[in-house]
Amino acid sequence: MRVLVTVGSTKFDALVKAALSQPVLNVLVQKGYSDIVIQCGSSHVNEFGSLDVEGDVHRHGLKIKVWRFKPSLDEEYDAADLVIGHAGSGTILDVLRRGKPLIIVPNPTLLDNHQEDMAHAMATLGH
């Protein structure tokens, strides 16, 4: 099974760091995931000493693939069994249209903390 982590076009170091943390990787393996794909945007992956960007590595029983940007995430959404992403409206709509499980993590560093508002709205709607 495959997990896609997406941060959109901005920097969201906290989400990338959390996704690459030992506890999260352990849970993913326990849940049966074999691949984690991380679209890291402008985040500084190397600062965490975890991976080089634009590459694959095998760690903790997972194949981990990291890249910054692609013109479209449609193929990645289609291939994912779970999406963990920022609370951007485009990401949320694209994933929900596909009926995929989605965990959203608001990026608090963005203007007016609008992703927090989006996350609360989704929770109110039962998502």
Q: Predicted confidence band at 8 (pLDDT cuts at 50, 70, 90)?
A: confident
Q: Is residue 124's pLDDT more than 90? A: no
Q: For residue 45, what pLDDT is reported?
A: 67
Report the number of distinct structural domains present in the chain: 1
The CATH number for 6's domain is 3.40.50.2000
Averaged over 33-42, what is the pLDDT? 91
3-state secondary structure the chain: CEEEEECCCCCCHHHHHHHCCHHHHHHHHHCCCCEEEEECCCCCHHHHCCCCCCEEEEECCEEEEEECCCCCCHHHHHHCCEEEEECCHHHHHHHHHCCCCEEEECCCCCHHHHHHHHHHHHHHCCC
Domain hosting 116: range is: 2-124
Which one is predicted more confidently, 46 or 103?
A: 103
The pTM for the full model equals: 0.85
Q: How high is the mean pLDDT of the chain? A: 85
Residue range 74-88, pLDDT digits in tens: 999 999 999 999 888
Q: Predicted confidence band at 57 (pLDDT cuts at 50, 70, 90)?
A: low
